[in-house]
Amino acid sequence: MAMMTLTYGQLPNFDAFELLFDAATADSGGTFSYNFMPNETDSDTAARYGIPPEGEVSARKLFGYLQGLVNGWEEDSDEEAGSMASSILSVLGIEWV
């Protein structure tokens, strides 16, 4: 269930994001782990935005990645970037509508 709902393409301010990040990552020591499968759309999208194919990141780093994805969606109409950002946000309890 979403703990925050935003208009598609919008990010919360960093303080609100960090609170949700901390709640979602409390069991993993405060880092967000991910792994994009090679030759998948997400892997290609991540590469376009300078996101490594796998890693463990802090709230600040993940927020930066999300800003890049959102900019790609807004400026270049990159649907895959928007979809990836939406998927990541949903894990943290943020829903785009």
Q: What is the pLDDT of residues 4-41, one digit of tens each?
A: 999 999 999 999 999 999 999 998 888 999 988 777 78
Q: What is the b/e burial string over 40-79, where b = at least 16 CB atoms within 10 angstroms of the residue's CB?
A: eebeebbeebebeeebebebeebbebbebbbebbeeeebe
Q: What is the pLDDT of residues 56-87, one digit of tens each?
A: 999 999 999 999 999 999 999 999 999 999 99
φ and ψ at 3, to 5 degrees?
-100, -15
- pTM as predicted: 0.91
Which band of pLDDT confidence, cut at 50, 70 and 90, is reported for residue 93?
very high
